[in-house]
Structure 1
Amino acid sequence: MRVFKFGGASVKDAEAVKNVVKVLKEVGHKDTLVVISAMGKITNAMEKVVKAYFEDKKALSGSLQEVVDYHNAIVLDLFENKNHPVHEKLKLLFDEIKGFLAWNKSPKYAFVYDQVVGYGELLSTTIISEYLNEVGLHNVLLDVRNLIKTDNSYRDAQVNWDRTQKEVASRVDLSKLNITQGFLGSDENNFTTTLGREGSDYSAAILAYCLNAESVTIWKDVPGVLNADPRNFEKAQLLNQISYREAIELAFYGASVIHPKTLQPLQRKEIPLHVKSFLNPQGNGTTVGKGVGISPKIPCFIVKKNQVLLKLSSLDFSFILEDNISEIFKLFHDHQMKVDLIQNSAISFSVCLDNKFNGLQAMLNELKRKFKVVCHEDVSLYTIRHFDDDSVLSLQNGRSVLVEQRGKETVQLVVK
């Protein structure tokens, strides 16, 4: 069995859904499990519903109506029959959302988030399953919440692998075209859970692992994995092959390749992962698997913008030792500052941070009590894997380099 994953961009409107049919017809759909995300930016829209529920009840009806209208417009474009069963199926799902918001008594944001936001995937798969049947691609729609069982860590649920394996083995007919949702699972009380960042890719990997799939293919709007983000770098090149290890390294430094948690179950069973374009299904794309580290072996560029560089030194020129560093890192943890680069000397300590949760100012106030602090905001952290002299010079050109760090395979530059 093969596992395919189609993300939000690949099912964002009626034409995109029709293109999914084209892809399945071109590459084959026998013995295939298709994992589908919420349509377009619907996850963001569902998050607005949850925010309105907690913060602005007057806006709740309007924010939910936007979701209803978006899906109904796609259905009207796809189905000529105004009495098609898909209309009633969507109405039932919307009634479930409204019902939950009416009777829910839980004040826990993460719990409510998972119960509401998860409907994005349930709506998209209902529409796509019905449309595939309409055009002759008969399929079985599976509720992934019956397959992927998790703990109750809402918004970042951990998989119960034993239970998941049993449910997948008993519920998935390997001889059929199966459609299911990404991102979702359920806990022991059958409440919906979500799997966190890159949840749909992870869902595909979990199901592939449990099915001993021959491969996973993630369909995207790019030719495959590129050596740089074309939005930030010119002349980005396609990487034909990457090892699991190399993909994890790239993801660690911030490349939007594949999240490590998606790769881990695939690596355990050596299931290859293909990243291909839904605009050119016959293209070679990129294969992530065992073996060759990276091919072609060219520099890979990654940039993280809007970073913060802190340079700390002791007030009395004494050494910065382990107890100081331990104290500093506790402050990073307490203020939710993600550390991306560290460099230290006897009396100074430099660190590049991601101020994602806006904890910088409060943390600086505490640091300044014990250290001399120089803070550079709005810096960029560039990482080059498999660097050469030309690639480093191309980044240094015209930029002020505040920190440079080199290893055998990797160079990192903090620039202003």
Structure 2
Amino acid sequence: MIVSKFGGTSVGSYAAMQHSASIVAAEPDRKLVVISATSGTTNDLVALGNSELSYTEREEILMRIEKRHLEIIEQLKDGEEVDKQVRLLLTELRQHLEQIARDKRWKDHLVAFGELLSTRIFTQVLGEAGVEVEWLDARDMMKTDSHFGQADPDLKVIKKKCAKYVQSGKRYLTQGFIGSDIFGNTTTLGRGGSDLSASLFAEAVEADMLEIWTDVAGIYTTDPRVVPAARPIHEITFDEAAELSVFGGKVLHPATLKPAMRGGVKVRVASSSEPNKKGTVIVHEAGDAPVIRALSLRKHQTLLTVKSLDMLHQYGYLAKLFQVLANHKISVDLVSTSEVSVSLTLDTAVSASNKVELTSEVVTELESFCELKIEKDFSLIAMIGNNLNNTAGISGKLFNMLKGYNIRMVCHGSSENNVCFLVNQEDGEEILQLLHKEFIED
């Protein structure tokens, strides 16, 4: 059994939907198809959540959403029924905007319209391609807590619900990104959550393979937009791919791989516009294990340094520090400690629905027991590979190459799969190009 997820660009137009439908049709084992909103729709829906929009601005966005979907329907052979369904959803969207509430619960329900619209249309596109599917509302299966905007899935309940709704031998189409809590409120898994949805479904139905169909032909050795010489990786281990996704690889959502790894599900990343290309298969053990497999760059990093003499030979201080961050749902990446200070990196890259923020409340709470220094505009570079903690000469070669640059923090030895360091943001791309040429191209 294969679970296939198609991203926004893969369903962003009628032609893109046709490409994706032909991929589903080509393999009978693609039994569960998971779809994102059409490209650009989620951003538009997030923009609609701004209570300060004028009437004209709101109408412009609504018309853009309507036009995007109705243009696809106009090209269908028989779009009468789906046209009714989509117009009804668009009416419900307008009615939702009239509600006064602007809390996270309201916003989660708002952004869910994107996936509901795209799957209604894609059901018809699949039917016209000879693939009969049953449309499922993901909210009936993807059960989560009530942390709106970034809900945590309930794995046991998801498995039970999938067993109820997904029957052997049938084909199904459902939405990524959205779910519901125990009260029936719509929740979302955060931006990029469609990948996570597909992975959770793959684990729950015990699929053999999870396919992530996107606009790139697999995972590359680094970002081709920064390094034109970057090349596709045909096979990579789960450990390597997990490190790469966490530290800036944009092909996979960082949380995607966990459910697949737990469930023993292979993952394949491929291009929906070039389905004949090999793509990247993620496995537990790869045929080769190079010391450096890939490089990643993540911009807009914040360096948080806390200092206190109370740390000296005292227990519980770090627990107190991390508890404050945990209480405010702030995730930490790199950590470096001395006797009286701790430095942490935070990913503060701009994200519409999941932005790490050091609010005044967090700062005040931290300053009650330590001195605080906040520095911004750094880039985090990660070298991903194998046996890095036991390979002689890597650090020496790295630091010799970067002797002309200022390195603020280094994490090496905690993982055999990565070496990470922090540099000034303006140096990030230049350093990435230098390292790729030395460690991968040469």
Aligned to 2:224: 230
**CA offsets per residue over residues 233-265 of structure 1, 9 Å max, x none?**
342232232333333333343433534543232
**Cα separation, partners in 2 of 1:188 and 1:345, compared to 1, 3 Å:** closer
Whether the 8 Å CA contact 2:219–2:251 is kept in 1: the answer is yes
Aligned to 2:384: 385
Aligned partners of 2:3 and 2:31 also within 8 Å:
yes
Aligned residue for 1:8? 8
The DSSP-based 3-state class of the residue aligned with 1:47 is: helix
- Matched with 1:350 is 343
Cross-structure match for 1:49: 48
Match of 2:206 in 1: 212
User: Helix, strand or coil for the counterpart of 1:116?
Assistant: helix
Residue identity in the other structure for 2:124: E
Letter in 2 for 1:379: F
Deviation at 1:221, TM superposition (A): 1.5
Structure 2 distance, partners of 1:163, 1:341, is 33
In 2, Cα distance between equivalents of 1:137 and 1:176: 11
Q: Distance in 2 between matches of 1:373 and 1:202?
A: 35
Contact 2:311-2:341 within 8 A present in 1 as well: no
CA contact (8 A) 1:239 1:294 kept: no
- Answer whether contact 1:182 1:203 (CA < 8 A) is retained: yes
Q: Deviations over 1:28-49 (max 9, x none)?
A: 2455211110000111111112
**Corresponding residue SS for 1:340:** coil
Q: Any idea what the Cα deviations from partners look like across 1:248-294, whole Å, max 9, x if unmatched?
A: 33334343353454323222331111111212212222222322397
Matches of residues 32-181 of structure 1 in structure 2 within 5 Å?
A: 32-51=31-50, 54-56=51-53, 58=55, 59-76=57-74, 78-79=75-76, 84-102=80-98, 104=99, 107=101, 109-181=103-175
Asked if structure 2 preserves the Cα contact closer than 8 Å seen for 1:114 and 1:155, the reply is: yes
Which string of whole-angstrom CA distances, capped at 9 and with x for unpartnered residues, describes residues 92-138 of structure 1? Answer: 11122223344x46x36111112221110111011111122223333
1:401 aligns with 2:407: yes
1:336/1:359 contact within 8 Å kept = no
C-alpha spacing 1:24/1:296, structure 2 compared with 1 (3 Å): farther
Aligned residue identity for 1:354: D
Is the contact between residue 270 and residue 289 of structure 1 (CA under 8 Å) also seen in structure 2? Answer: no
Structure 1: 5+ residue stretches without partners: none
TM-score in terms of structure 2 length? 0.79
Distance, in Å, in 2 between the alignment partners of 1:396 and 1:256 is: 25
Compute the displacement of 1:330 (Å): 5.8
* Number of residue pairs the alignment of both structures matches: 408
Distance 1:202 1:342, change over 3 A: closer
Contact 2:10 2:273 in 1 (8 A): no
Give the match for residue 184 of structure 2: 190
What letter corresponds to residue 247 of structure 2 in structure 1? Answer: Y
1:253 is aligned to 2:247? yes
Q: CA RMSD in A?
A: 3.4
C-alpha displacement of 1:13: 1.5
CA distance in 2, matches of 1:394, 1:23: 48
C-alpha separation between the residues in 2 aligned to 1:375 and 1:186? 37
Change (3 A) 1:187 1:311: closer
Amino acid at match of 2:211: T
Q: Is the 8 A contact 1:245 1:293 kept in 2?
A: no
Paired residues of 1:224 and 1:275 also in contact (CA < 8 A): yes
Q: CA–CA distance in 2 between the matches of 1:390 and 1:79?
A: 61
Contact 1:335–1:359 (CA under 8 A) maintained in structure 2: no
Q: Which has the larger displacement, 242-251 or 128-137?
A: 242-251
Deviation (angstroms), 1:202: 1.8
Q: CA deviation at 1:394?
A: 8.9
Question: What do the CA deviations read for 1:2-27 (whole angstroms, capped 9, x no partner)?
Answer: 110000111112221122133234x4
Decide whether the 8 Å contact of 2:48 with 2:58 is kept in 1: yes
Residue of structure 2 equivalent to 1:413: 421
Give the CA deviation at 1:140: 2.2
Instruction: Give the letter aligned to residue 401 of structure 1.
Output: I
Structure 2: runs of 5 or more not aligned: 349-354, 389-393, 425-442
Q: Is the 8 A contact 2:333 2:346 kept in 1?
A: yes
Q: Is 1:300 aligned with 2:306? A: no
* TM, length-normalised to structure 1: 0.84
